[in-house]
């Protein structure tokens, strides 16, 4: 593709493509929500990682750190898809 000079007029097709790209760009609020969800998921995963070596009296509680790590990773996956404006990611 030949680079365009700055003073040259753009075609209708190029303007239509730019308009299409601008329409599918997620709003800033969606991006901010995805960043907040990602940071919260990171904290959940790191708190689970911090508890990996701990042991409790009740045996079933020993699985909690691994559940927290899985929830943190899953939350970060959902946040990445929410940033891409996937409708199903907001429900998750």
Q: What is the pLDDT of residue 30?
A: 83
Q: How far is CA 23 from CA 13, 16, 29, in A?
A: 15, 11, 15
* Cβ neighbour number for residue 44 with a 10 Å cutoff: 20
Q: What is the pLDDT of residue 85?
A: 73
Q: pLDDT digit of tens for each residue in the chain (92 aa)?
A: 555 555 566 788 888 888 777 777 778 888 888 899 999 999 999 999 999 988 878 888 888 999 999 999 999 998 888 887 777 776 76
Contact between 71 and 79 (Cβ < 8 Å): no
**3 state DSSP class of 1:** coil
Q: How many helices (H) and strands (E) does the chain have?
A: 4, 0
């Amino acid at each position: 593709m030949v680079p365009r000079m700055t003073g040259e007029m753009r075609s209708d097709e190029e303007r239509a493509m730019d308009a299409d790209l601008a329409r599918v760009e997620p709003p800033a609020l969606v991006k901010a929500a995805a960043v907040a969800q990602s940071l919260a998921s990171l904290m959940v995963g790191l708190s689970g990682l911090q508890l990996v070596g701990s042991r409790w009296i009740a045996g079933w509680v020993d699985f909690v750190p691994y559940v927290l790590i899985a929830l943190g990773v899953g939350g970060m996956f959902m946040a990445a898809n929410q940033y891409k404006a996937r409708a199903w990611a907001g429900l998750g």
